[in-house]
Chains A and B, each alone.
Chain A
């Protein structure tokens, strides 16, 4: 079992849909959780950063962490074609060794 698991997709949705992206993990010591967006042939860029359990909202993006279930989610409201990218979850214990999921490829169709 990999330390961080993520459905690779591809996930295709119509423009304006609500998108739900998820990761599960096995290491209960993880405390910091991140979501990155990676466009083709680009480096990952940080979208959301959450400490411990709870929700965090930033514009159209909401990140949720459920440490009891070892499950994190990213919701995208009113999805746009420009949201088409690969979404990577990442997590770390103390900001030292970041572990990334394999990424979910998202296509938002106009």
Chain B
């Protein structure tokens, strides 16, 4: 079974430029998560999707971040414009169930973003 796929793996941009990350979850997984992981820290949730619906985006900085999950499968996370403080690893994870289930998550390898 293929795992969670993310691209690109690395991205270097200048501040104020836009950037987008793509995630393909494990086939059949209904819930998709985007996390940000700063150096030396654990992942912090940005947004959680159940199928096509964003059910928790309370930690997403909506002035510059946006996300979509069309058709309830792949997802894209966008930052526009990027700031120096956005440098981090952006992790995508998926789980089989939805709210109320105790399914755990499976992570992709992440996209390492460097903003210069």
User: Which chain B residues in 87-116 approach chain A with CB under 8 Å?
Assistant: 91, 93, 95, 97, 99-110, 112
Residues in A neighbouring B42, C-beta threshold 8 A: 4, 6, 88, 90, 100-103
In the assembled complex, A44 has its CB within 8 A of some CB on chain B: yes
Residues in B neighbouring A32, C-beta threshold 8 A: 102, 104
Interface stretch of the complex, out of A45-53, A57-65, A67-75: A45-53
Contact of B102 among A43, A90, A95, A100 (CB under 8 A): A95
**Apart from A43-B4, A45-B107, A103-B42, what are 7 other A-B pairs with CB-CB below 8 Å?**
A41-B109, A41-B112, A42-B110, A43-B91, A43-B110, A44-B91, A98-B33
**Size category, A interface:** 20 to 34
Q: Are A42 and B102 in contact (CB under 8 A)?
A: no
In the assembled complex, B56 has its CB within 8 A of some CB on chain A: yes
Report how far A22 CA is from B106 CA in the complex, Å. 22
Report how far A90 CA is from B112 CA in the complex, Å. 22
Binding site of B, secondary structure by majority: helix, strand, loop or mixed? loop
Residues in A neighbouring B53, C-beta threshold 8 A: none
User: Total number of A-B contacts with CB less than 8 angstroms?
Assistant: 62
Distance in angstroms from A17 CB to nearest chain B CB is: 24
Report how far A32 CA is from B95 CA in the complex, Å. 15
The answer to whether residues A97 and B102 also contact, given A44-B107, A103-B42 and a CB cut-off of 8 A, is: no
In the assembled complex, A8 has its CB within 8 A of some CB on chain B: yes
Report how far A43 CA is from B70 CA in the complex, Å. 24
Q: Are B99 and A94 in contact (CB under 8 A)?
A: yes
Q: Are A95 and B100 in contact (CB under 8 A)?
A: yes
Give per-residue flags for B71-101: 1 if the beta carbon is below 8 A from chain A beta carbons, else 0: 0000000000000000000010101010111
In the assembled complex, B69 has its CB within 8 A of some CB on chain A: no
User: Which chain B residues in 37-78 approach chain A with CB under 8 Å?
Assistant: 40-45, 48, 56
The answer to whether residues A43 and B56 also contact, given A51-B102, A88-B42, A102-B42 and a CB cut-off of 8 A, is: no
